[in-house]
Amino acid sequence: MLEALTGTGLAASAGLNAYIPLLTMSLLARYTGLVELPSGWQWLSNGWVMMILAVLLVVEFVADKVPVVDHVNDVVQTVVRPTAGGLAFGAGVNSETVTVADPGQFFSSSQWVPVVVGVLIALGVHALKAVARPVINATTAGFGAPVASTAEDATSVVMSLVAIVLPVLVLAFLVGFVLFLIWVLRRRGRRRRERQAARAAGFQV
């Protein structure tokens, strides 16, 4: 169960920012004793891999805070974030952490399953992010983009750390995700009704 929560937290984090959970695992595995990557995932703690992840993180960090550019970035990240989510979930459920001492029994018979699960989780979070951002931009005249992006990055960092150190709290993030999804859907429905009313008023005039 803890392995699943760790993987879920890391994959959801990747849905917000593809590189934060991977870089978090890399740093913790290389410089601390909080994460011990299995043999198949040792490449994550390679210095060159960490450097590439850091550069990509900086690029996304900047691009995601500029209105219009953030939308283009979300389109590009439709492939990147789910892929990172699959890698993060796969690495997370197979790693030994401070809370998971024997991860080998989880998904041991089907090694591809956790990667697919991670892809789906990250894709779902990414889809919500991509749908919510235009709503936020429209309601704040674009000024909300950097604020929302910074909040997403901070959430991604916290969720990545929580998934490794205290995975039970991932459940709280999942509840928050559902509540935010409900808010976004209601907000979109309200904006659609307002546009339809404005269009109808225009025709009457």
**Tens digits of per-residue pLDDT, 52-63?**
999 999 999 988
Say whether pLDDT at 10 is over 80: yes
Question: Which residues does residue 35 pair with via DSSP β-bridges, in sequence order?
Answer: 97
How far, rounded to the nearest angstrom, does the alpha carbon of residue 180 sit from its chain's CA centroid? Answer: 14
> How many CA atoms, within 13 angstroms, populate the side-chain half-sphere of residue 85?
29
Under the banding of pLDDT at 50, 70 and 90, the label for residue 151 is confident
pLDDT at 99: 66
* Beta carbons of 8 and 144 less than 8 angstroms apart: no
Please state, in angstroms and rounded to a whole number, the distance separating the CA atoms of residues 184 and 40.
39
Distance CA 189, CA 134 (A): 13
HSE of 98 in the Cβ direction (CA atoms, 13 Å)? 14
Q: What is the rounded CA–CA span in Å between residue 98 and residue 117?
A: 23
Distance of CA 87 to the CA centre of its chain: 12
User: Strand ranges (DSSP E) for the chain?
Assistant: 35-36, 96-97
Name the band, by pLDDT with cuts 50, 70 and 90, for residue 197: low
The CA distances from residue 87 to 101, 119, 177, in Å, are: 20, 8, 21
Burial readout 167-192 (b: 16 or more C-beta within 10 A, e: otherwise) = bebbeebeeebeeebeebeebeeeee
Average pLDDT, the chain: 82
Q: Which residues pair with 96 in a beta bridge?
A: 36
At residue 142, the pLDDT reads 64
Please state the rounded mean pLDDT for residues 169-189: 77
Q: Which residue has the higher pLDDT, 3 or 50?
A: 50
Q: Is the pLDDT of residue 106 over 60?
A: no
pLDDT at 160 over 80: yes
pTM comes to: 0.80
